[in-house]
Amino acid sequence: MNQDITEMTAAELSRALHRRELSSSDAAAAYLGRMTQTESTIHAYITPTARRALEAASAADEMLKNSGAPALCGIPYAAKDNLAVEGVRMTCASKMLADFVPDYTAAVVERADSAGCVLLGKTNMDEFAMGSSTERSIAGPTHNPLDPACSAGGSSGGSAAAVAAREAVWAIGSDTGGSARQPASFCGLVSLKPTYGLVSRRGMTELASSLDCVCPITRDVTDCALAMNLLAGRDPGDMTTFDSDEDYTLALTGGVSGMTFGIPRPEMLDECESSVRRAMNRAARILETLGARVTEVDLPLEMALEIYMVVAAAEASSNLARFDGLRYGLTAEGATAADRMRATRSAGFGDEVKRRILTGAYALSSTYGGGYYRKIKAAQATVCRETDTALDTVDAVLLPTASGVAFRLGSYADNPTALYRSDCFTTVANLTGIPALQIPGGGDGHLPVGLSLMGKKRAEKTLFRAAFALESEMKPFVGKEVGRDAVGYAKPC
Ligand code: GLN
């Protein structure tokens, strides 16, 4: 086999492994080798797990001797550092958990383990998943493989960069307000934020429990469908999950003829860079050429962003109360329990985490908040109603994932709250619990633009079908416009 193993998609590698043309141990060795070359530039991982990977790979090779091994058996992947893996340090990129080693494993990692997947390591992120640039990490920033001076996005920037830099075939991230879709967009990759409850959150460190989703980040739409076949389904340990026995790969090829797509009214794209508006127009034209109807819709995007910031901060302040210096992670000195708690939380949390705990505690406080949280939840119900109305008339909505391409690292250093606006197209899917699938939609120079397809609850198959159709048509554009970098997976066409 002449092809570099690290260039292969999960679907291609799966075929080669099942035909026994390659072994999982070969694949693990190739990826671990790649990591030694590129990690010093990209810094996608916080904790690589090389020994665990080699052991998992030889176990997978045994599984692959028998017919019926799972599709992703033997395939190397990475997991965000807010997903617990028994015996492996989980930092959530925070000083608070710098030495924390969980004695339990996240449901999605259990699923991946039992399917014979090979975990290469835990990836970098913004502290407790608060951020959009993977710069707020105790481990330092992750660099975008398509341009190392730029951000890989966040908060799952390490997971996206690992896939784009060919340091993992695919990766798991989390998305509370856009944290898997936006880094996938910045790195030219695919990511699905599933319907809330389709993928178990057990063992993921919560940011905002009512919004959090565990998501795959992959090289193309087919790989994303394969990853969802692995991750989706009921977990008795997460009461919000529901059954799913779908084979998402079967949904890919139906085409879009006869379907109707909504697009935001032009003024809703005013804030977008021109490359994003161009990508939107082109994708809409492609859908029409393929026999679909495209119509303008209203979406409560601005309202969703404002509500998101309050709901996410309120839930985060409550979730992070468990870091009290007694039960997990860091313990600072102090004369009394209250002193120790104050000292631990002051030393353990970074600025953004403290900012959100303060905002969230204020919103929840009956003394100061004045029923603020109740009003915000009522406003969230309005966002759900308006989004339902928009989706009632269409099969899916096409919208940008971010208003621009990857920004330079450090761009928001002096104005951290300006970064909140990077979630303006993504939070609506989290607040309403609906699925949204990010795909590359062309590019600006050497950096990719991301587009999302958003649908009704449990309409993942519709999104896969439309995304696959768009991907097949857009590939030549993406290849030409995104000057594919030597470091990245994406190569010149
Ligand atoms: N960027 C968003 C935030 O900082 C989203 C975070 C996320 O999805 N985890 O809140």
Q: Does residue 188 lie within any of the structural domains?
A: yes
Q: How far is the CA of 18 from the centre of ligand 1 (A)?
A: 38
Note whether 409 and 375 are same-domain residues.
no
Domain boundary among 328, 346, 379: 379
Residue that is written with structure tokens 């001076």 in the block: 149
Of residues 483, 477, 467, the one with CA closest to residue 218: 467
Q: What distances in angstroms separate CA 232 from CA 64, 227, 423, one per listed residue?
A: 23, 9, 25
pLDDT of residue 474: 87
Q: What distances in angstroms separate CA 375 from CA 147, 241, 244, 420, one per listed residue?
A: 43, 27, 34, 21
Note whether 321 and 437 are same-domain residues.
no
Q: How far is the CA of 177 from the centre of ligand 1 (A)?
A: 5
- Residues 311 and 411: their CA atoms lie apart, in Å, by 26
* Bridge partners, 263 (sequence order): 296
Edge-first strand listing for the sheet containing 447-454:
45-48, 118-123, 76-80, 170-175, 213-218, 190-193, 436-444, 447-454, 396-400, 260-264, 293-297
With the most atoms of ligand 1 within 8 angstroms of its CB, the residue from 126, 134, 305, 430 to mutate is: 126
Q: Does residue 280 lie within any of the structural domains?
A: no
- Residue span of the structural domain in which 124 resides: 5-259+398-481
Q: How far is the CA of 175 from the centre of ligand 1 (A)?
A: 7
pLDDT of residue 493: 27
Note whether 365 and 412 are same-domain residues.
no
Note whether 38 and 73 are same-domain residues.
yes
* Bridge partners, 77 (sequence order): 119, 170
With the most atoms of ligand 1 within 8 angstroms of its CB, the residue from 125, 128, 130 to mutate is: 130
Note whether 344 and 241 are same-domain residues.
no
Q: Does residue 276 lie within any of the structural domains?
A: no
- In the numeric block, which tokens belong to residue 23? 């072994």
With the most atoms of ligand 1 within 8 angstroms of its CB, the residue from 179, 319, 403 to mutate is: 179
Residue that is written with structure tokens 């860091």 in the block: 330
Nearest atom within ligand 1 for CA of residue 175: 8
Q: Does residue 152 lie within any of the structural domains?
A: yes
Note whether 337 and 371 are same-domain residues.
yes
Note whether 372 and 412 are same-domain residues.
no
* Number of Cα atoms under 13 Å in the Cβ half of residue 310: 19
Domain boundary among 379, 414, 445: 379
Note whether 254 and 307 are same-domain residues.
no
Q: Does residue 425 lie within any of the structural domains?
A: yes
pLDDT digits (tens, 9 = 90+) for 180-191: 999 999 999 999
- Residues 166 and 332: their CA atoms lie apart, in Å, by 40
Q: How far is the CA of 82 from the centre of ligand 1 (A)?
A: 13
pLDDT of residue 442: 87
- In the numeric block, which tokens belong to residue 127? 């502290």
Q: How many domains does the chain have?
A: 2
- The contacts of residue 412 (CB under 8 Å, 6+ apart) are 133, 135, 418, 419
Closest residue by Cα to atom 4, ligand 1, is 131
Note whether 203 and 74 are same-domain residues.
yes
Q: How far is the CA of 129 from the centre of ligand 1 (A)?
A: 6
Q: How far is the CA of 182 from the centre of ligand 1 (A)?
A: 9
Nearest atom within ligand 1 for CA of residue 430: 8
With the most atoms of ligand 1 within 8 angstroms of its CB, the residue from 137, 207, 310, 412 to mutate is: 207
Nearest atom within ligand 1 for CA of residue 211: 8
Which amino acid is residue 492, in one-letter code? P
Note whether 416 and 345 are same-domain residues.
no
- In the numeric block, which tokens belong to residue 433? 């619990």
Distance from the Cα of residue 204 to its chain's centroid: 13
* Number of Cα atoms under 13 Å in the Cβ half of residue 342: 6
- Residues 348 and 369: their CA atoms lie apart, in Å, by 26
Report the 3 state secondary structure along the chain: CCCCHHHCCHHHHHHHHHCCCCCHHHHHHHHHHHHHHHHHHHCCEEEECHHHHHHHHHHHHHHHCCCCCCCCCCCEEEEECCECECCECCCCCCHHHCCCCCCCCCHHHHHHHHCCCEEEEEECCCHHHCCCCCCCCCCCCCEECCEEEEECCCCCHHHHHHHHCCCCCEEEEEECCCCCHHHHHHCCCEEEECCCCCECCCCECCCCCCCCEEEEEECCHHHHHHHHHHHECCECCECCCCCCCCCHHHHCCCCCCCCEEEEECHHHHCCCCHHHHHHHHHHHHHHHHCCCEEEEECCCHHHHHHHHHHHHHHHHHHHHHHCCCCCCCCCCCCCCHHHHHHHHHHHHCCHHHHHHHHHHHHHHCCCCCCCHHHHHHHHHHHHHHHHHHHHHCCCEEEEECCCCCCCECCCCCCCHHHHHHHHCCCHHHHHHCCCEEEEEEEEECCEEEEEEEECCCCCHHHHHHHHHHHHHHHHHHHHHHCCCCCCCCCCCC
Low-confidence ranges of the chain (pLDDT < 50): 483, 485-486, 491-493
CA angle 217, 129, 83 (to 5 degrees): 65
Q: Does residue 210 lie within any of the structural domains?
A: yes
Q: Does residue 492 lie within any of the structural domains?
A: no
Which residues have a catalytic role annotated?
Answer: 80, 155, 179
Q: How far is the CA of 386 from the centre of ligand 1 (A)?
A: 22
Which amino acid is residue 143, in one-letter code? H
Q: How far is the CA of 366 from the centre of ligand 1 (A)?
A: 26
Of residues 448, 450, 454, 395, the one with CA closest to residue 428: 454
Note whether 475 and 407 are same-domain residues.
yes
Residue that is written with structure tokens 């010093």 in the block: 40
pTM assigned to the model: 0.97
Closest residue by Cα to atom 10, ligand 1, is 130
Nearest atom within ligand 1 for CA of residue 179: 8
pLDDT digits (tens, 9 = 90+) for 446-460: 899 999 999 999 999
Q: Does residue 237 lie within any of the structural domains?
A: yes
pLDDT of residue 489: 56
Note whether 179 and 40 are same-domain residues.
yes
Question: Ligand 1: residues whose CB is within 6 Å?
Answer: 129-132, 155, 174-179, 207, 312, 423
- Residues 99 and 379: their CA atoms lie apart, in Å, by 40
State the CATH number of the domain containing residue 11. Answer: 3.90.1300.10
